[in-house]
Structure 1
Amino acid sequence: MEWRSVTFDWNRARAFLVTAEEGSLSAASRALKLAQPTVGRQVEALEAELGVALFERTGRGLRLTPAGHGLLDHARLMGEGARALSLAAWGQSDVLEGEVAISASDAYASYLLPPILARLHAAEPGIRIEVVVSNDLSDLSRREADIAVRNTRPTEPELIARKLRDAAATLYAAPDYLNRIGRPAQPEAFTKADFIEIDGQGSLKALLARQGVVLEGANFPYRCRNFTVMWEMVRQGMGIGILDARIGDADPAVERAMPGFAPITFPIWLVAHRDTTRSRRLRVVFDALAEGLA
């Protein structure tokens, strides 16, 4: 390669790429953890080095110029190469110090991870844990997390996964709430009960219908897409909700709500990027999670 032909600062190319993908200098500064004026100066310096305008400054922010559009794919290739280099280097580390990011749902992050992480910290105090709370799948290839707790097996060839167990979710309510509705003994008798829906698609309503419990919209006065908040609503006697039985059965503030309800089973997978599995630090965290969650 003729290195003299590379006449720009690669760090400035990163500032251009992140600004283009995030849509503004302020968003890019947050993503890069740099001051906004610093990112702006890096982009302007790259424009000067390349001799082209990459963005048009508008009243609402920045817009890519035709030249910026033309160079963006090349910058993305550089970004992918840098990310692959970072992952490969991270995976070679034998040091039991540093940060590991774990992605998990709000319910697992709130109720299952804390005792596991406390034991891990006692054994390996040099490892710092970031808990990435998300009910969506974190992109491990883009280093949104190093390890993810998921309910689906990954299909990407660069990811590895270990199935930990099959979990079961069932319905719970506060004892006072069940007393107020007369503690129905049969599933079909719950037509006057209040339920807390878990998403905008009516998943809980459909799940109950498949088990012969046909309810109306009036049975779902609440909808909450955050399981931790939904669980607190259940604990405070606002209605019936569904959660992993490992969490629900351990909570003395609730009890199983519906006799005859067949628990819903789903798998628990632990996932990591293949390149990072050579890291001793990640292996220690991965194994600790596998033991605690299994």
Structure 2
Amino acid sequence: MKLDDRRIALLYEAWRHGSMRAAADVLDLAPSSISRQIARLEEETGASLIEPGRREIRLTEAGHAVMDYFRARRAGVDELEGRLQDLSSGRSGHVHLALGEGFLGPALYDTLDSFMDGFPGMTLSVSVTDTTQMVRLLLEDEVHFGLGFHSLSHPQIVSRYRAPVPLMAIMRADRPLARRESIGFDALCREPLALMGQSFRIRQMLDAAALDSGHSIAPGFTSNSIALLTRTAVAGRALTVLPAFSVSAEIASGTLAGVAIEAPQLQAVYVHLLARRNRVFPPHLGSLIEQIRTRLLPSALKA
């Protein structure tokens, strides 16, 4: 079977953007031109690739098979490029990763600086996002890998490494509760709380643990910014719930303290280094992953 990769790319863009017209606007092509090329691709494959009668493009099983081939081929090109770059002296290329805001801090900055120093020809993109968006970016190969608190329920996303990072009650170090070794949900829910929004995995895990203990979380302040949550805790206005590494600088300075929460689910939380299943990494990506494993997640275990 001989397939035209340009036509597969047009099908991918139409599927990605939801319609041929939307893809045509992005690619500066006529919708009819995209439609003709996809029709020819269906002739080449001998199968219907798009479900008929829908305004938004939905792929058939054959269409998904073609997309799997397209992603594998593109990943193969990435691998070949990485190997050729590693053999050459230039070491040029691009790395794109996704992570939650909780990973922003000195450990991450030092890791990225070390990588860029070792590969001066590389360019780097970092997308700070939530769980739902990260899954989409991984599945569409728009990022090479991600760091997040995931339950790994998607069959096409796998964990390369995982590191234990229990969620803790984060508060000003001069609060009476800060002197305790642990606190339960009774004590936690009596305090003013500043928490992540419900689309974030940290919040979802906290809500589930609270529900299991017969409590309901009602934060007085909600934000998708860990920097704002940290500032609220430093000001003494509220407690927040985060992994300790998200506020490591404030804990080291004695401004904030982390207290364990009496919930087994929150003590068994892991950060995962995530990738699309069967994604092959070129050598320079393997180097960055190893640096993240040793510098940012020193307790990481291979999944």
With 202-211 and 241-250 compared, the bigger mean Cα shift is at 202-211
What is the 5 A alignment of 1:1-294?
A: 1=1, 11=6, 14-23=9-18, 28=23, 36=25, 38-41=27-30, 43-47=31-35, 66=53, 72-73=59-60, 76-92=64-80, 93-94=82-83, 95=85, 96-110=91-105, 112-136=107-131, 137-139=134-136, 140-152=138-150, 154=152, 156=155, 159=158, 161-163=160-162, 165-175=163-173, 178=175, 187=183, 192-200=190-198, 204=206, 207=209, 217=218, 220-251=219-250, 252=253, 254-256=255-257, 261-262=261-262, 264-265=266-267, 266-273=269-276, 275-277=278-280, 279-293=282-296, 294=298
Cα distance in structure 1, aligned partners of 2:97 and 2:270: 18
User: Which residue identity is paired with 1:149?
Assistant: L
CA contact (8 A) 1:138 1:144 kept: no
CA distance in 1: counterparts of 2:26 and 2:212, whole angstroms? 56
1:174 offset after TM fit, Å? 3.2
The CA deviation string for residues 32-81 of structure 1, in whole angstroms up to 9 with x for no partner, is xxxx374442x3224456789xxxxxxxxxxx974998995355543332
> 3-state DSSP class of the match of 2:140?
coil
Q: How far off is 1:105 after superposition?
A: 1.2
Q: CA deviation at 1:14?
A: 3.3
* Contact 1:25–1:40 (CA under 8 A) maintained in structure 2: no
Cα distance between partner residues in 1 of 2:197 and 2:13: 32
Instruction: Assess if the C-alpha contact under 8 Å between 1:172 and 1:243 holds in 2.
Output: yes
Contact residue 194 and residue 220 of structure 2 kept, 8 A? yes
Per mean C-alpha deviation after superposition, the further-off stretch among 67-76 and 188-197 is: 67-76
Assess, with a 3 A threshold, how the Cα gap between structure 1 residues 23 and 205 changes in structure 2: closer, same or farther: closer
Aligned residues of 1:102 and 1:145 also touching (Cα < 8 A): yes
Give the SS at the match of 1:250: helix
* Separation in structure 2 between the aligned mates of residue 106 and residue 114 of structure 1, nearest angstrom: 13
Mapped to 1, the partners of 2:100 and 2:123 lie a distance apart of: 19
The answer on whether the counterparts of 1:91 and 1:276 sit within 8 Å (CA) in structure 2 is no
Provide the rounded CA distance (Å) in 2 between the counterparts of 1:286 and 1:51.
41
Q: Answer yes or no: is the 8 Å Cα contact 2:234–2:256 preserved in 1.
A: no
1:206/1:197 CA distance change after superposition, 3 Å: farther
- The answer to whether the 8 Å contact 1:149/1:269 transfers is yes
Alpha-carbon distance in 2 for matches of 1:261, 1:70 = 46
Does the 8 Å contact 2:167/2:261 carry over to 1? no
Partner of 1:61: none
Structure 2 vs 1, CA of residues 11 and 292 (structure 1 numbering), >3 Å: closer, same or farther?
same
TM-score w.r.t. the length of structure 2 is 0.67
- For residue 142 of structure 1, report the CA deviation from its aligned partner: 2.3
For structure 1, the residue ranges without an aligned partner over 5 or more in a row are 30-35, 53-63
What is the count of residue pairs matched by the alignment? 262
Q: Could you say what the CA RMSD is over the residues aligned between the two structures, in angstroms?
A: 4.1
User: What TM-score does the superposition give when structure 1 sets the normalisation length?
Assistant: 0.68
* CA deviation after TM superposition for structure 1 residue 194, in Å: 0.7
Distance in 1, Cα, partners of 2:293 & 2:57: 45
The structure with the larger Rg is 1
The answer to whether the 8 Å contact 1:197/1:205 transfers is: no
Given that residues 162 and 269 in structure 1 are in contact (C-alpha distance below 8 angstroms), is that contact kept between their aligned partners in structure 2?
Answer: yes
Change (3 A) 1:48 1:235: same
Contact 1:170 1:244 in 2 (8 A): yes
Aligned residue for 2:249, secondary structure, equals: coil
